[in-house]
Chains A and B, each alone.
Chain A
Amino acid sequence: MTAVEWLTAQLAPLVGQSWAVLVVYLALSAATIGFVLAAAPGLVWGMRKVMGHVQHRTGPYRVGPFGLLQPVADGIKLVSKEDIVPAGVDEFSWKLAVYVLPVPVFIVFLFIPWHPGFVVSNVATGIVLLLAVAAISPVGEVLAGWGSNNKYSVLGGLRAAAMDVAYEVPLVLAAASVVILTGSMEMQAIVEAQQGVWFFLVQPIGLFIFLIAGLAKIGVAPVDLAEAESEFVAGFHTEYSGMRFGLLFLTLFANIILISLLTSILFLGGWQAPLGLFDGVWWLLAKTVVIAVFLLTTWFTLPRVRVDQFMNLGWKLLFPLALVNMVIAGVLAKGGIV
């Protein structure tokens, strides 16, 4: 019995089946968005700390113990900044972009299998629906860039979209290799299939492709081509300020958490414990933190790649490599090795 079924069964005698389902889903969705809204500022703190130590500084340490209240201070600053709507913007698309970018990221967190038997939205199409919803971002980027009526924003938005589409196919194909090994698209089934052998052991190329494509999706250095400060000021963020910028910033960090979670789930066994010790959400979170710190150190260590190099890598190398990787996964599945 899954957690959602159990909760519904507890509530059903009180308010009736339909209302119980609705209430449970409402509560769990609210909890999920609460997690995202708490974890993203937490990651902002982690980002500043990691960045500080990578650069031989301490990072934030004045606001609260270990600077833990720094994100709160940032939040207050962002809320109280003047709401500037530049004169030339196309107001409809400019404002719409602030909805189109964060909301799909919130939705995607519903499909994450947190704990044995606990996933908020246990859809049969799991990973496909997840990647499909996550793939809405180029639309928001182009809307934001075009709506801003700023030369840097237009170029930044288009480049962000071009980068996203270039790496969408390798990302999906790397996930498809995992689907071959699992024999199911359900997120929970993918984690359960990794009992014993975590998929990064049999799919090292898949992990490699997924991490690079994930980095492209997040769009931070070394691949921050869409908001390269020395080329585009801030890309499609340029004309946003105050709370609207805050929401775009939140999306960036929610995306980092999302890619870290997905890498843990698809390749590192999700909530599966090493040596079979106490499976559970704590293992998923521990693996996610490891991947997130890895992504952050990559961000702060490597210089930016050139745009034509990175586009060529996606279209001409990672795409065929992902297909080859699928064939490898197919052979492994046919041979009954996994």
Chain B
Amino acid sequence: MAGIPEPYLPVAIMTGIGVAVVFIAVALSRFITPSRPSREKLTAYECGEEPVGSGRGPVDIQFYLYVLVFLILDLEAVFLIPFVVDFANLGTKAIVTMAVFVFLLLDGWIYAIQKGALEWQGS
């Protein structure tokens, strides 16, 4: 167990077991099921019509904007949690510091709203 903090060991073990369970489930079904591919069966589903072009067309920029805002706000959450663990015993200085940090990120959130970055596809 050298180098691995003990309580984290099950996480590694579970990753292994989980991957094995999924692999076995898929392999097992491969083993016992018929395989009769046909052209119709293998085409992408498009309401029963012939698929037109590639499935991966350009998508709205909105998804990218969402993830950008998410990065900022999730970062805030990640910094907040270790900060609040001992909240009951924190001094005023620490709380004011954190309030300034949260305020700066909230400012970004308000900016994103004003720019329309959080409107669903420019609605």
Q: Which residues of A contact B (CB under 8 A)?
A: 18, 21-22, 25-26, 28-30, 32-33, 37, 78-88, 98-99, 102-103, 106-107, 110, 120-124, 128, 133, 146, 148-155, 158, 161-162, 165-166, 168-169, 172-173, 176, 179-180, 183-185, 233, 238-239, 242-244, 246-247, 307-308, 311-312, 315-316, 319, 323, 326, 330, 333-334, 336
Contact = CB atoms under 8 A, between A and B. Distances in A.
Given A82-B34, A107-B11, A151-B57, A169 B70 contact: yes
25 contacts: A21-B9, A22-B9, A33-B17, A79-B28, A80-B29, A80-B33, A81-B29, A83-B33, A98-B22, A102-B22, A103-B22, A110-B10, A123-B8, A124-B7, A148-B44, A150-B44, A168-B70, A169-B74, A183-B85, A185-B81, A243-B25, A246-B25, A247-B22, A308-B121, A323-B102
B36 interface: yes
A246 B8 CA distance: 29
A151 B54 CA distance: 8
B109 to A, nearest CB: 7
Interface string B69-88: 11001101100110011111
B96 interface: no
Query: What 5 pairs between A and B have smallest CB-CB spacing?
Result: A308-B120, A243-B29, A103-B18, A149-B55, A165-B70
Contacts of B109: 319
A150 B120 CA distance: 22
Interface residues of B, number: 65
B6 interface: yes
A172 B63 CA distance: 21
Interface of B: 1, 6-11, 13-15, 17-19, 21-22, 25-26, 28-30, 32-37, 41-47, 51, 54-57, 59, 62-63, 66-67, 69-70, 73-74, 76-77, 80-81, 84-88, 102, 106, 109, 113, 118-121, 123
A87 B76 CA distance: 43
B17 A150 contact: no
Given A29-B13, A158-B63, A121 B7 contact: yes
A246 B22 CA distance: 10
Contacts of B51: 88, 150
A134 to B, nearest CB: 13
B11 A88 contact: no
Chain B residues touching A, majority SS = helix
Given A88-B55, A121-B10, A233 B70 contact: no
Contacts of B15: 103, 107
A28 B18 contact: no
A199 to B, nearest CB: 14
Given A180-B84, A184-B85, A86 B25 contact: no
Contacts of A158: 59, 63
Contacts of B88: 180, 183, 333-334, 336
B14 A107 contact: yes
Contacts of B19: 99, 103
A84 B33 CA distance: 10
Nearest to B29: A243
A239 B84 contact: no
Contacts of A312: 118, 120
A173 B77 contact: yes
